A and B are shown apart, each in its own frame.
Chain A
Amino acid sequence: MRVLVGVKRVVDYAVKVRVAADKKAVDLANVKMSMNPFCEIAVEEAVRLKEAKKATEVIVVSIGPKAAAETIRTALAMGCDRGIHLTTDSRTDQELGPNSVAKLLAKIVEEESPDAIILGKQSIDGDFGCTGAMLAEHLKVPQCTFAASIDFDAKTVERETDTGTEVVSFPSLPAVFTADLRLNEPRYATLPNIMKAKKKKIDTKAADSLGVELNEGNTVLEVFEPPPREAGIFVDDVDGLVDKLKNEAGVL
């Protein structure tokens, strides 16, 4: 089985993001960037398949600026075999949207013919959560999103939903899977693997050379911070508390 994994370079989850002065985007200058946490989980799942001898090859793909090559190297250090880097200068947190990404990935799938495509369930910058589903639609293949566990032998996937877990089955491969938090705990790459990864192959192409229409149709009008949290107040007694909860907060 050949596995294709998608990874995205995003703002590190621990960074406190700030809005840019022109209120059109998040300020990315000098901000720490890392692999999207759900993409890490996707890579880990693919690498475990390889270690269990269920996958013969794992290819990692990323769409992003020049620096996204580092993110691909990290995936290679975790155990992927080779990488594909589609370069773009568009902002991947808001300009290049999920449908464009899905169309680009579909082109890669056409070229590489993977049996399984594993993506993160959503990126922590765009938070659309759409790419996996859109990709499956473009490819006309089954989709198993929010996977908490995948059984390739039984062809079943445990899916996390807001109301609980459900088990779905997929009829055949190829199929698209998107990784949820519970799927696995990603490994830290070891130095020997990081050094080996430097020698692994990354194919670089321009994203706009694939014959895909990249105009998303969405325009970001404004980016702003949520209103600052107000200071708490002290109430004198329980009656006062109940009164505020009822009449001010409107939660009772």
Chain B
Amino acid sequence: MLCAATSKMILKHITFTKRRSLATVTNELRRLFESDPEIIDSNPYELDRHGRGESFHPSKPPSHIVHVRTTQQIQDVVKACASTSPPTPIVPFGAGTSLEGHVGSTNPDSISISTTKNFNQLVSVDPSSLQCTVQPGITRHKLNHELRATGLQFMVDPGADASIGGMAATNASGTSAVKFGVMRDNVLQVKVVTSSGEEITAGSKTFKNSAGYDLKNLFVGSEGTLGVITEITLRLHPIVDHIESSVCAFQSLTQACDAVVTLLSCGVPVAKCEVLDGPAIHAFNLYSKDVDDMTPQPHLFVELQDISEAGLASQRNIVEEILNDCGGTNIEFSANPAVRKKLWAARHDTYYASCALRPGEGMGIVTDACVPLGQLASVIAATAEDIQTSEVIGPVFGHAGDGNFHCILPVRDTDSEEYLQKLEDVNDRLISRTLAAGGTCTGEHGVGSGKMKYLTTQYGEGAVDIMRAIKESLDPKNIFNPGKIITP
């Protein structure tokens, strides 16, 4: 249902040509969904929400949202948007984590295709093939709850209760990646609506596939810039009976990261391996009431899993020995499910805990550096030191087992130009340091609009040109989430 006030607001700010396009697509949507008009949403608060994510990038709302119910509806919207003159951009929207401005509409006429409301079902489970198929709008906690009777779980665990479609589009990952991999390792097959409005299938429901170019891994991580994902087949893993988590303190980040290298070099099959620096632990202590306070120094949080009690016990002994040898202190283990759950929930909340260090209105700059494991100690220590000398607030923590860490730089609306410049400089130096160490400017969060400027430095012109060619070929009208990853 169109809100008159909103349309007036949008129409005021755009040219006559664009106005014609917006009016056309609006009429077309109304016509297409005549029998189901409530799926078209122009509520200004919803539009604002669909233009923003969980980071500091400001909201860039679309003109309408379509809460699609079926693949056919997605195809219809794509065809309608491609046929206006000029074509109308489409921004797919899952649960809205969008850490690098992924869902911001660069064109106020954009149509947001939103899936979590009506296109969110578990379609089928094939337990003996260890897989399930879902619609993109289902969130990962809901999926695992639906799977609870099978003994299988979907293991990828980014901090948010993200939608599977969004996770596939951004190649998301979490604390479990060190053992279970990232989305690309856990998505077997995707179905995608392409620029012609056709639905294609990429990948296969097998664990191995060498047939043709790897389109599945092209679409996974393409951030909505090559098509709209309509169905995902996921690899599942059995829930293991014997799990234990451990907390260990270190004198320095370097020591902690060296311990991580040792653990992995000794072949310990860690299920989770996270590092947090002193400021991060301090934020953690203040924010999470469910977990006992820890001394504000660098810590490792490790989780071990085994199919037998004896196996778990022997892992525990080896890990304890290694941590001790590497200078770890205050080593604690717990198998209690409630204790473990609270520990990892608190770890997942470190973003909010960090923002809470600076009370007031505003979000955070979330950095995401990933380097070869051997470089982790030096890069993370240099980053933490830089933050301290710059006198800004920026807890550092991350997936040490993957060589991946984040630093949250909370931004406040009341911050001075000077402080904002310091944050930007810290971020720039971090990315330069990362790339110089042979790393990547983003291990998990994706490029969105925020990191486009680093692609050429990271890959060189040759590779970026190929990326551009792919975008131009698959999306000749540039309607799929324009202004993200690469500009044609």
Residues of A participating in the B interface, judged by any CB pair closer than 8 Å? 14, 34, 74, 77, 185, 187-194
Contact = CB atoms under 8 A, between A and B. Distances in A.
A188 B151 contact: yes
B114 interface: no
The 10 residue pairs across chains A and B that have the minimum distance between CB atoms: A191-B151, A191-B238, A188-B148, A194-B151, A190-B239, A190-B241, A190-B151, A189-B151, A74-B149, A188-B239
Interface in B121-175: 142, 144, 146, 148-153
B176 to A, nearest CB: 15
A190 B240 contact: yes
16 contacts: A14-B146, A77-B151, A187-B337, A188-B144, A188-B148, A188-B151, A188-B153, A188-B239, A189-B151, A190-B238, A190-B241, A191-B150, A191-B152, A191-B239, A193-B241, A194-B150
A185 B241 contact: no
B148 A189 contact: yes
B338 interface: yes
B73 to A, nearest CB: 19
A190 B236 CA distance: 13
A34, A77, A191 pick with most chain B CB within 10 angstroms: A191
Given A188-B153, A190-B240, 17 more contacts: A14-B142, A34-B149, A185-B341, A187-B337, A189-B148, A189-B149, A189-B239, A190-B239, A190-B241, A191-B152, A191-B239, A192-B151, A192-B241, A192-B307, A193-B151, A193-B241, A194-B151
B150 to A, nearest CB: 8
Contacts of B148: 188-189
A7 B341 CA distance: 26
Contacts of A77: 151
A189 B148 CA distance: 7
A235 to B, nearest CB: 14
A12 to B, nearest CB: 8
A133 B338 CA distance: 31
Nearest to B308: A192
Nearest to B146: A14
Nearest to B148: A188
Contacts of A14: 142, 146
Contacts of A191: 150-152, 238-239
Contacts of A188: 144, 148, 151, 153, 239
B151 A185 contact: no
A50 to B, nearest CB: 15
Contacts of A185: 338, 341
A185 B148 CA distance: 13
B135 to A, nearest CB: 14
A194 B148 CA distance: 11
A93 B26 CA distance: 46
Nearest to B144: A188
A77 B142 CA distance: 21
Contacts of A194: 150-151
Contacts of A193: 151, 241
Nearest to B38: A231
A65 to B, nearest CB: 17
A216 B398 CA distance: 60
Interface in B332-369: 337-338, 341
Nearest to B237: A191
A191 B152 CA distance: 7
Contacts of A190: 151, 238-241
Contacts of B240: 190
A232 to B, nearest CB: 10
